Amino acid sequence: MAGAKPSRSALQSLMISMDVSAKELREILADSFFSKTRHAEPYTPTPSDDQGPLDNLFTLAELDDALRLRNAKSVPRPDGIPYSAIKNLPHNDKEALLDYYNDIWVTVDVPHMERSMG
């Protein structure tokens, strides 16, 4: 193997074929692969028409579960009505109360509430 040429690296071959120094090749590659300015726009989430699970209306089963999980000796709600009174409402009255809760859930003015809390 007396006449074999020493092997060159790919970078050495590029430097020879482009007739540039190692420093110039580094600058060319850096400019090609690592742009100094980014042109991508910042991520902006788009509103979705899909409602998440927290946007759904409350169901009668959820109301019944919440009342069932309350301790029988729980203190009355802030409005003074004991949970046991709501728990023992007839089915039709529970549905009416649930409709009332869902109306509040849908129509509440959250920004107004945040202003009044500050």
Question: What is the per-residue pLDDT across 25-74, written as a single tens digit (0 to 9) for each?
Answer: 888 777 776 666 555 565 555 555 556 677 788 999 999 998 888 876 77
68: Cβ contacts below 8 Å, ≥ 6 apart: 87
pLDDT digits (tens, 9 = 90+) for 65-111: 988 888 767 777 777 788 888 888 999 999 998 988 888 888 875 44
Which residue type occupies 75? V
pTM assigned to the model? 0.46
